[in-house]
């Protein structure tokens, strides 16, 4: 293993965010689990606070990714919309089991309205100029343009830099960063989900909180010489604010924790955040570890989305 790393494993911390989220999420997890493999396509659909950019779903459901529909053919639109509507009904029934059967009819009516909204959002996605551009230029997803805008504005990457991308799948950020680092740079990506290979990008599949995965990542990095840690991670949204926001903030905290373990002095991190409970506290914490911290809403980030990107530069090694 390369030297000079903080070899303490990243483990879930007993922070308030995780405690609140887990208590609420476990109550509903069993019922959602009975809704079938396609249930994940419904999570978050119909919510005003989150849109298709933030969906994290299973491979078997609609072919969606955290940045929307992944390379979906336009001819499949109607079929996909029908599946979304079916999933919405299944989720209403499943969630009704959590609350009691008396609530099922109310939930079914609500989900029917939401499935209509999801159809409009899917159509909006297909007409999105960033989606069209991503398909035309060969990017894995429209998320590449968020990173591109921030990079060009803030002059993030340089030739020969070393970069770690957390929650990388489907790989748009790794794809963009790899091009910017040049042949002498190093790009390492990791995700729980599988990711199709990208030339010049090393990939470690698994949860980086797992000691085995964590060690595998460290073995591929030089001792505390990482220039950038990137995180576009988002949780599997349930559509319940008090569950989703703590989980989103927990992922951001984990990304910041990883940055503190691998960044070299003067290094930087770009981390996705969602505005809500815990947002300001995490920003203050980050300001104590980095010389410069800026919040950015790139043009490619949909206006209604609660997502923001925290750009932290000049890491202080304590």
pLDDT of 36 reads 37
Name the helix (H) or strand (E) containing 301.
none
- Model pLDDT for residues 104-127, shown as the tens digit of each residue: 454 455 555 555 656 665 666 667
Would you mind telling me the total number of residues written for the chain in this entry?
A: 318
* CA dist., res. 31 & res. 28, Å (int): 6
Pairing state between β 263-274 and 290-296: unpaired
More confident residue, 92 or 108: 108
- Model pLDDT for residues 270-310, shown as the tens digit of each residue: 999 999 999 999 999 999 999 999 999 999 998 888 999 99
DSSP label of 277:
T
Is 89 in the active site?
A: no
Question: Mean of the per-residue pLDDT values for the chain?
Answer: 74
pLDDT of 113 reads 54
The active-site residue, picked from 146, 272, 294, 313, is 272
DSSP string, 112-178: HHHHHHHHHHHHHHHH-HHHHHHHHHT-SSTHHHHHHHHHHHHT---TT-EEEEET-TT-HHHHHHH
The region of weakest confidence among 56-70, 71-85, 280-294 is: 56-70
pTM of the model as a whole:
0.68
* CA dist., res. 120 & res. 302, Å (int): 15
Q: Where in the chain is the domain with CATH 3.40.50.150?
A: 140-315
Beta strands in the chain (DSSP E): 64-65, 68-69, 162-166, 186-191, 201-205, 226-231, 263-274, 290-296, 307-315
For residue 22, give every residue at least 6 positions away whose Cβ sits within 8 Å of its Cβ, in sequence order, or none: none
- Model pLDDT for residues 149-200, shown as the tens digit of each residue: 999 999 999 999 999 999 999 999 999 999 999 999 999 999 999 999 999 9
Asked if residue 237 lies in contact with residue 47, where contact means CB atoms within 8 angstroms, the answer is yes
- Model pLDDT for residues 9-43, shown as the tens digit of each residue: 454 443 444 444 444 444 444 434 433 333 333 33
Say yes or no to pLDDT of 99 above 80: no
φ and ψ of 48, to 5 deg: -75, -30
- Model pLDDT for residues 131-155, shown as the tens digit of each residue: 899 999 999 999 999 999 999 999 9
Q: What is the CATH number of domain 140-315?
A: 3.40.50.150
239 pLDDT tier (thresholds 50, 70, 90)? confident
Q: How far is CA 204 from CA 127, 150, 213, 311, 314, in A?
A: 34, 25, 7, 24, 27
Task: For residue 313, give the nearest of 254, 273, 264 by alpha carbon.
Answer: 264
CA 281 to chain centre: 20
pLDDT of 302 reads 85
More confident residue, 309 or 236: 309
Asked if residue 25 lies in contact with residue 241, where contact means CB atoms within 8 angstroms, the answer is no
N- to C-terminal Cα separation, the chain: 22
For residue 40, give every residue at least 6 positions away whose Cβ sits within 8 Å of its Cβ, in sequence order, or none: 57, 58, 61, 236
Task: For residue 235, give the nearest of 54, 4, 89 by alpha carbon.
Answer: 54
């Amino acid at each position: 293993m390369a030297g000079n790393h903080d070899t303490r494993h990243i483990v879930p911390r007993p922070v308030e965010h995780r405690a609140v989220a887990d208590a609420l999420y476990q109550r509903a997890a069993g019922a959602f689990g009975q809704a079938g493999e396609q249930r994940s396509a419904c999570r978050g659909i119909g919510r005003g606070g989150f849109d298709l950019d933030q969906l994290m779903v299973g491979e078997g459901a609609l072919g969606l990714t955290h940045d929307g529909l992944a390379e979906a053919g336009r001819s499949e639109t109607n079929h996909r919309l029908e599946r979304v509507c079916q999933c919405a009904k299944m989720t209403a029934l499943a969630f009704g089991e959590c609350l009691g059967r008396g609530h099922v009819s109310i939930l079914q009516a609500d989900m029917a309205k939401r499935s209509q909204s999801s159809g409009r959002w899917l159509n909006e996605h297909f007409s999105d100029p960033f989606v069209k551009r991503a398909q035309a230029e060969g990017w894995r997803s429209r998320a590449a343009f968020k990173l591109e805008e921030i990079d060009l504005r803030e002059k993030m990457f340089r030739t020969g830099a070393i970069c770690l991308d957390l929650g990388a799948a489907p790989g748009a950020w790794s794809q963009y960063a790899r091009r910017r680092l040049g042949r002498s740079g190093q790009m390492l990506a990791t995700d729980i989900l599988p990711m199709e290979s990208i030339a010049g990008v090393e990939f470690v599949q698994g949860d980086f909180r797992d000691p085995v995965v964590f060690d595998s990542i460290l073995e591929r990095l030089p001792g505390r010489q990482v220039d950038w840690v990137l995180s576009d991670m988002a949780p599997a949204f349930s559509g319940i604010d008090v569950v989703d926001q703590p989980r989103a903030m927990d992922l951001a905290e984990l990304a910041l924790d990883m940055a503190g373990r691998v960044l070299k002095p003067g290094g930087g991190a770009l981390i996705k955040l969602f505005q809500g409970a815990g947002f300001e506290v995490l920003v203050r914490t980050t300001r104590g570890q980095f010389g410069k911290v800026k919040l950015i809403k790139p043009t490619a980030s949909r206006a209604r989305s609660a997502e923001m990107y925290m750009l932290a530069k000049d890491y202080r090694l304590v």
